[in-house]
Structure 1
Amino acid sequence: MTIDFNKGEGLVPAIIQDEQTLEVLMLGYMNAEAYQKTVSENKVTFFSRTKNRLWTKGEESGNFLNVVSIREDCDNDTLLIKVNPVGPTCHKGNRSCFDTAYNQNFIFELEKIIEDRYANPVEGSYVNKLRNKGLNKIAQKVGEEGVETVIAALNETEHDLINEASDLVFHLLVLLKEKNVSLEKIAHNLEGRHSGK
């Protein structure tokens, strides 16, 4: 990378984004030393302007920001760092320092929860009950929920439609996990269709 630390008197802004949900979690500043530490340890380290020292996010709380990727902008003076956060990012206990009213990309977080249920089964978990019944039952549930969504759209209230559509999306996510297909692959496919590729 050719990061221009001189423009900001030795500091560049670093935008921290959840790798899976794409939610912006916080903004901090890095000097060259903080950047190198971040790269070498794969945990986000900032230069704290108030403490006048390097500061690894989570060094006290344990809520580290594990680095997935780092990109610089077109002017080489701002970083976009995608992370897997451990716990809430904000010191006030919120998911994001920007305290958005709701997680706009919760569907990606739900995908992560389902992946975790597959990796770390929880007794009594609905995901694990479905998984134990196998692919045919999971696919059948997607079909059932699809029909129920259509019925709700034609004959029931908006509230009913939202509930049935939510059930459909949830079961579709379980089916995609069962087949090892990520939402990212679906998004790439849809983007390709949109752009005519």
Structure 2
Amino acid sequence: MKMKLDFEKMGGLIPAIVQDENTSKVLMLGYMNEESYNLTKQTGKVTFYSRSRQTLWTKGETSGNYLTVVNMMADCDHDTILIKAIPSGPVCHTGADTCFGEKNIEDILFLKYLQNFIEQRRQEMPEGSYTTSLFQKGVNRMAQKVGEEAVETVIEATNGTEDGFIYEASDLIYHLIVLLTSKGLRMEDLIRELKKRHK
């Protein structure tokens, strides 16, 4: 974690951006002086300098929601620091996961939300819903759509654009989740199978 930092450019302070090591979500922005930076290095807990109170404060010292440092790096001008950390709870004083109002979850967990939504469609079968129409047409049509989307994904991968490939691959995943749901299965079943194969 040894690095050269320019504390003089902004009167002894540098911005410190905190990012979750696991999810890559930006958690908060604070400021550090040289003393709080050194204390952060020594303790492994993110410590800032409060501009309003003009004192050091360790994030979590009141709430218990500490930020445990994994790595720190300076930007190209050596006047901003990026801290990759592991939060032990919500980061914002409002109780939110981040100071920017984002949920601190990996984007890949959206797939779980999407399958829950598709399952809700299967139970409620609202009129005018494309997903409803797939369930109404039955497993053969759903399986056929997975095959069609797989072919279109291959075509884009070999002869198309990156945007086109992402678009068709997303269609493929969506239709696969619909098919899984119709069979009473979930993405988690695929994950368990993949984990079983991984050695």
Q: Normalized against structure 1, the TM-score is what?
A: 0.60
2:47 aligned to 45, 48, 51, which one? Answer: 45
**Equivalent position of 2:186 in the other structure:** 167
State how far apart, in whole Å, the 2-side matches of 1:153 and 1:99 are: 37
* 1:151 correspondence with 2:143: yes
Counterparts in 2 of 1:90 and 1:22: CA distance versus 1, 3 Å:
same
- Does the CA contact (< 8 Å) of 1:153 and 1:161 recur in 2? no
Q: What is the deviation of 1:104? A: 6.3
State how far apart, in whole Å, the 2-side matches of 1:163 and 1:41 are: 51
**Equivalent position of 2:78 in the other structure:** 76
SS at structure 2 position matched to 1:38: helix
Q: What is the deviation of 1:152? A: 8.3
* 1:24 correspondence with 2:26: yes
Q: What is the deviation of 1:154? A: 3.7
Stretches of structure 2 that go unaligned for 5 or more consecutive residues are 112-141, 148-173
Question: What pairs with 1:4-153 in structure 2 (closer than 5 Å)?
Answer: 4-100=6-102, 102-103=103-104, 105-107=106-108, 151=143, 153=145
State how far apart, in whole Å, the 2-side matches of 1:52 and 1:161 are: 53
Q: Point out the structure with max Rg over C-alpha.
A: 2
Q: What is the deviation of 1:51? A: 1.1
SS at structure 2 position matched to 1:96: coil
State how far apart, in whole Å, the 1-side matches of 2:10 and 2:186 are: 49
State how far apart, in whole Å, the 2-side matches of 1:104 and 1:7 are: 35
Counterparts in 2 of 1:66 and 1:180: CA distance versus 1, 3 Å:
farther
Counterparts in 2 of 1:58 and 1:178: CA distance versus 1, 3 Å:
farther
**Equivalent position of 1:126 in the other structure:** none
Query: What per-residue deviation string (whole Å, max 9, x for no partner) do you get for residues 101-142 of structure 1?
Result: x556243799xxxxxxxxxxxxxxxxxxxxxxxxxxxxxxxx
State how far apart, in whole Å, the 2-side matches of 1:163 and 1:65 are: 41
Query: What per-residue deviation string (whole Å, max 9, x for no partner) do you get for residues 122-179 of structure 1?
Result: xxxxxxxxxxxxxxxxxxxxxxxxxxxx738449xx68836848933x3454456567
Counterparts in 2 of 1:66 and 1:31: CA distance versus 1, 3 Å:
same
State how far apart, in whole Å, the 2-side matches of 1:95 and 1:179 are: 34
SS at structure 2 position matched to 1:43: coil
How much identity, in percent, do the aligned residues show? 47
- Does the CA contact (< 8 Å) of 2:143 and 2:179 recur in 1? no
Stretches of structure 1 that go unaligned for 5 or more consecutive residues are 111-149, 182-197
